[in-house]
Amino acid sequence: MRKFCILFLTTIGLVSCDKNRIYDNYKSVENIGWHKDSIQQFELPVMDTIAGHNLYINIRNNNDYLFSNLFVIATFEYPNGKTQVDTLEYEMALPNGKWLGTGGASVKENKLWYKEDFKFNEKGNYKVSIAQAMRANGSADGITFLKGITDVGLRVEKKETP
């Protein structure tokens, strides 16, 4: 019972240290890889319309990932229906092949900038959709199953004020 209490208090302490987190959600990718037509969708709760927020795309990858970078297409949908589409490139490994990110030897977690000091000016629900947009060198067709990506996530944090 004592071990349980210590574990419980440690867990509460770690979770409470993440005071800026507003939203943090992951979607698992199929075991055979992230399909080029598989769009990971996130619906945000109603957000504070005054404070600034930082948005991140979170990617977990393992050693089956064959590339040093990652291209994604992120679609940001406002409550009024307006959309903003961005093609983003992220570095996933150093030139020497060492994975970036945090975590153990087999799975790395990357917290990648998406929007900085963003204000949710409109009341209502915002939606973010993320799709992989990787292509092999010299090919116009996308990679059908992108192996090595295990989870795709979206995180929203309240921007810290100095």
CATH of the domain at 51: 2.60.120
pLDDT tens track of the chain, all 162 residues?
544 434 444 444 444 457 889 999 999 998 899 999 999 999 999 999 999 999 999 999 999 999 999 999 999 999 999 999 999 999 999 999 899 999 987 899 999 999 999 999 999 999 999 999 999 888 888 899 999 999 999 999 999 876
Reading the block at residue 9, the tokens are: 């208090």
DSSP letter at 138 equals T
10 found inside a domain: no
130 found inside a domain: yes
58 found inside a domain: yes
Give the span between the Cα atoms of 148 and 65, in whole angstroms.
4
Give the span between the Cα atoms of 64 and 104, in whole angstroms.
14
Nearest CA-CA partner of 26 in 141, 147, 149: 149
Q: Which amino acid is at 92?
A: M
15 found inside a domain: no
pLDDT score, position 1 = 53
4 found inside a domain: no
pLDDT score, position 8 = 42
Q: Going by C-beta distance under 8 Å and a sequence separation of 6 or more, which residues neighbour residue 155?
A: 21, 23, 24, 25, 55, 56, 58, 111
Number of domains composing the chain: 1
Reading the block at residue 51, the tokens are: 């404070």
38 found inside a domain: yes
1 found inside a domain: no
Prediction pTM value: 0.85
59 found inside a domain: yes
Reading the block at residue 73, the tokens are: 């297409």
User: What is residue 135's three-state secondary structure?
Assistant: strand
pLDDT score, position 20 = 87
Q: Which domain holds residue 41?
A: 22-158
